Amino acid sequence: MTAYDALFQHAFTRVDPERAHHAAFRAIRSAGPALAARGTRVRREAEPVLAMGLTFAGPLGLAAGFDKNAQGVDALAALGFGHVEIGTVTGEPQPGNDRPRLFRLPADRAIVNRMGFNNDGAEVVARRLAARAARRAPGDHPVVLGVNIGKTKVVPEDGAVADYEKSAGLLAPFADYLVVNVSSPNTPGLRDLQAVERLEPLLAAVRRRADEATDGEGRRVPLLVKIAPDLSDDDVLAVADLALALRLDGVVATNTTIRRDGLASPSADVEACGAGGLSGAPLTTRSEEVLRLLRGRVGPDLCLVGVGGIGDAAQARARLEAGATLLQAYTGFVYGGPWWPARVQRALSETPTREATR
C-alpha cells in the first residue's frame, strides 16, 4: 500500500467525494507552477504519439469530467498527462443535478456520478481559454487540449443541434480537438442522440460550425464522438461506419455505464449511490470490447481513444494492444493519486507496444 492509498482509505473516504474533488483540484492548481518543470520532463521522457495531425507527448491523457471549466489545464499537464480534455461544456451555463451526486465504491475502485454537466457554459469557458492563450509565451509547447461539448439540459430536443453548434463556434478556436459527447447518462434524452439517424446531422452541423469558427486560422480542428459502453455491438459498428462516412477524426470509447452487475461492493452501498454513470475498474472488459469492435471495423488509421477502467500501466498497455491510439483516465487517477499519470506514462515509454502514428 502506498502512502496515497493509506491517505485515500483513511482520510479521503471520510470526506464527501465532491468536496474532496474540489479540494484536490485546488491543491493541484496551486502546485502547478512548482510542478511545471517536472511535468515537462515527464512528457519529454514519454513515447510521443502522432494522431489527427497533432503530436501528443505521451499516449495517456486526462478524460473529460475532472476539469469541466478549463481552470487547471496546465497544472494537470504538469502531473504528466500528455493531453487534457476539458468539459463537458454546454452551450448555456448550468448548475447540474442536485447534490449529493458523486459517490465512491472503493471495493470496486469505481465512482458513480450524476453530475449533470455542471459547468460555466461555453461563453465563460471560451473567455477563460482566450486568457490562457494570451498568457502563452512565444515558443511555448503547451499540452494538447481537447474540448468536450454536450447538450444543455433545458434545451429541447429540437434545439440540440443549435446548442452544440453554439459551443463549437465559441470553443473550436481554442481547441486542439473537439469531442461531441452524446453518451452521458445524466442528461435526459442525450443518449438517444447516439442513434445514427440523429447523430449524423448533429456531427455534420458541428463540423461545419467548427470549420467556420477557425476559417481564418488555416487549420482544421479534429472532431471526435464519445460513445457509451452500453451500446449494442451492432450499434457500435453503426457508429464506426458513420465515423468513416463523415470522415470523423476519431471515436472516444467509452463513457460511463448505467449497468451495475458483477460489482464487489455490498448491494446496499450500490443502491445508496442511486442513478448515474459508473466508471472505473468495472468498465475494463466492456470498454476494451468496444474498442476492439471499433478497430476491427474502421481499420488501422482512425484515431481511437481508449478510456474506461484503466487503472495501471498493464491495463493501459493492454488497451493500446487492443487498438487504442491514445488513452484517457479519470477514476484511475482518483484512486492512483497525483503521481499516477507520470508512473503510467513512464512505464508505457519503457515498453512501447507499437509505432504510434495514427
Sheet holding 102-105, edge to edge: 102-105, 110-113, 277-280
User: Per the annotation, does 68 bind a ligand?
Assistant: yes
Element (H, E) at 32: helix 17-45
Average pLDDT, the chain: 94
Least confident of 40-49, 122-131, 266-275, 286-295: 40-49
Q: What is the three-class DSSP state of 79? A: coil
- pLDDT on residue 200: 96
Res 353 pLDDT > 70: no
- pLDDT (tens digit per residue) in 139-182: 676 799 999 999 999 999 999 999 999 999 999 999 999 999 99
Res 355 pLDDT > 50: no
Residues 265-281 have a mean pLDDT of 98
Residues 321-339 have a mean pLDDT of 97
User: Per the annotation, does 4 bind a ligand?
Assistant: no
Residues 31-39 have a mean pLDDT of 79
Res 354 pLDDT > 80: no
Residue reference for cell 506514462: 345
Active-site entry in 167, 183, 184, 265: 184
- pLDDT on residue 36: 75
Res 218 pLDDT > 80: yes
Residues 101-116 have a mean pLDDT of 98
Q: How far apart are CA 202 and CA 180, in angstroms?
A: 9
User: Per the annotation, does 118 bind a ligand?
Assistant: no
Q: How far apart are CA 38 and CA 301, in angstroms?
A: 33
Domains of the chain: 3-350 (3.20.20.70)
- pLDDT (tens digit per residue) in 60-91: 999 999 999 999 999 999 999 999 999 999 99
Band (pLDDT 50/70/90 cuts) for residue 356 is: very low
User: Per the annotation, does 353 bind a ligand?
Assistant: no
Q: What is the DSSP letter of 185?
A: T
Examine the residue annotation and report whether 30 is marked as an active-site residue of this protein. no
Residues 305-332 have a mean pLDDT of 98
Res 212 pLDDT > 90: yes
Long-range contacts of 203-212 (CB under 8 A, 24+ apart): 203/242, 203/246, 203/248, 204/246, 205/161, 205/164, 205/165, 206/149, 206/164, 206/165, 206/168, 206/178, 206/180, 207/246, 209/165, 209/168, 209/169, 209/172, 210/168, 210/169, 210/172, 210/178, 212/169
User: Per the annotation, does 67 bind a ligand?
Assistant: yes
User: Per the annotation, does 120 bind a ligand?
Assistant: no
- pLDDT on residue 332: 98
User: Per the annotation, does 256 bind a ligand?
Assistant: yes
- pLDDT on residue 250: 98
- pLDDT on residue 352: 58
User: Per the annotation, does 117 bind a ligand?
Assistant: yes
User: Per the annotation, does 166 bind a ligand?
Assistant: no
- pLDDT on residue 164: 98
- pLDDT (tens digit per residue) in 198-207: 999 999 999 9
Burial string for 311-343 (b: 16+ CB within 10 Å, else e) reads bebebbbbbbebbbbbbbbbbbbbbbbbebbbe
